Amino acid sequence: MAKGSVVRGLVCFLTVYWIVLGVAPYDRADWALENFLTLTCGIALYLSRHHFPLSSTSYVLLFIFTMLHTLGAHYTYSNVPYERWGQELLGVSLDGLLGWERNNFDRVIHFLWGLLLYKPLQEWMTMSARLDGRWRDWYPLEFIMASSLVYELIEWAAAEVFGGELGVAYLGTQGDIWDAQKDMALATVGGVMAWGVQTLLRRRLGDAHSAH
C-alpha cells in the first residue's frame, strides 16, 4: 500500500475519532484547551507534508500518540477510566498490578511523547536542518526535553489565567507537587529509549548489509 493511502486512511480515521470524542467531553473548556495545540500542530504537519514528507512509520507513531491524547482530552487526563476498563475487560486492577496510587494516564502520555515522537522529529529535523551524524540523534532528544519544559510552563500559565476547576483540570497534578518534574523526566526517558532503539536497529541493519 502506498504511503499516501496510509496517511489518508489515518487522517480520515483520526478525524472521525476526534469528532466522536468531541461530542460530549467530560469538561468542554478543558477539552478545548487540550486540543488547541493538537490542532495547531496537525495543521502545520499537513501544510508541510510535501516539503518535509515523513515515513509511513512516523505517521503511524504520530497517529497512535494523537489517538491517546484525544482520549485523554475527552475525559480530562486525570479521569480516564483505564482502571475500570481493565477490571471489566481483563478482570484485573491495572493500578494494583503496576503499583500505582493515582491515575497515571497523563504520565504514560508524557513518556510516549518522547518514545513515539523521537523518530518523526528525527526525520523532520534531518530534512529541514540537514542534520547528520550525532546531531541527527541528539537534536530530537533536545527538542523533546525543551518542548516538555515549555508545555509545563504553558500548563502553569493557563492554570494561573483560567484558575478554578478549569485550571486544576488542565494542570492535572492530582496533588503531586513534583508532577511537572516527573512529566519532563518521563518524556526524556521515552526519548532516550527511542534513541537507543534507533541506534540498535541502525547497527543491525548495517551488520546485515555488511554480511551480504
Give the pLDDT of residue 80. 95
Percent of the chain residues past pLDDT 70, beyond the cut: 92
**Range with the poorest average pLDDT among 11-15, 29-33, 102-106, 167-171:** 167-171
For residue 26, CA distances in Å to 23, 65, 75 come to 10, 20, 5
Residue 49 DSSP label = T
Burial of 170 (0-12, 13-18, 19+ CB in 10 A): buried
For residue 9, CA distances in Å to 13, 15, 112 come to 6, 10, 22
Give the pLDDT of residue 116. 97
pTM: 0.87
Residue 30's identity, in one-letter code, is D
- Give the separation between CA 153 and CA 3, rounded to whole angstroms: 36
**Range with the poorest average pLDDT among 31-45, 50-64, 99-113, 180-194:** 31-45
**Is the CB of residue 121 less than 8 Å from the CB of residue 187?**
no
Render pLDDT for 129-160 as a digit per residue (tens, 0 to 9): 787 778 888 999 999 999 999 988 888 887 78
Give the pLDDT of residue 119. 95
Give the pLDDT of residue 206. 67
Please say if the pLDDT value at position 210 is more than 60.
no
